[in-house]
Structure formats: structure tokens, C-alpha cells
Amino acid sequence: MSEEVSRKLNCWEYKKCGREPGGDKVAELCECTAAVMAALPDGQYNGGTRCGRRCWRVVGTLCGGEVQGVFAQKIGSCRGCDVYLKVKDEEGDHFAE
């Protein structure tokens, strides 16, 4: 299995949103807070970089074409998101919501 296939993807890599640092949509939409927030040590939660595998916890992510608010307002829709479901499946018993 190649490294790219076996590596855990961050939300911006999976969604190809272009809002990661240096991404092609940064000038238009700004950097995503999940891609730049350093409050969590890399890999601490769900094995991602910054908040890339815990984006549902971060204010200011872009989902469905709209900037999302706080956790309590967005978690309902996040639980149906393909990124959330992929991370939850990959992490199994170690999943951190």
C-alpha cells in the first residue's frame, strides 16, 4: 500500500477545499481555521495535522459553501459529513469527537 493511500487525510486534503496554507482558495476565502489552529498538538486527536481530523470542533470551517459557527450549532450537520464519518470509521474506539 502506498504512503498516500495508507496515510490519514486531513479534512482539507480529503475535501480539496483549497483553504489550507498556500491553497488555491486562500485569497478568495481565507485560510481555514482547522488548517491553521495550533491549539492541539499534531496527531493528538484522530491522528491529524492541527485540527484536520477534528474540524467539527472548530469555528470558521467552510461546509456546504457556508462558513460554520460554533460546535453546538454545527455538530448536527457535521455528524452526517463524509469527513466526520471517514475519521470515525478509521479511528474506531479511539475516535475523539
Q: Where are the alpha helices (DSSP H) in 1-97?
A: 3-6, 11-15, 26-29, 33-36, 71-78, 82-91
pLDDT band at 6 (very low <50, low <70, confident <90, very high): low
User: Residues 26-82: pLDDT tens digits?
Assistant: 999 899 999 998 776 777 889 999 999 999 999 888 887 788 888 888 999 999 999
pLDDT band at 5 (very low <50, low <70, confident <90, very high): very low
Asked if residue 67 is part of any domain, the answer here is yes
- Which one has a higher pLDDT value, 84 or 68? 84
Separation CA 82–CA 80 (nearest Å): 7
Q: How many domains does the chain have?
A: 1
In the Cβ-directed half-sphere of 65, how many Cα atoms lie within 13 Å? 0
Asked if residue 28 is part of any domain, the answer here is yes
Residue ranges making up the domain that contains 80: 3-91
Asked if residue 35 is part of any domain, the answer here is yes
Asked if residue 96 is part of any domain, the answer here is no
Grid coordinates given for 59:
469555528
Asked if residue 97 is part of any domain, the answer here is no
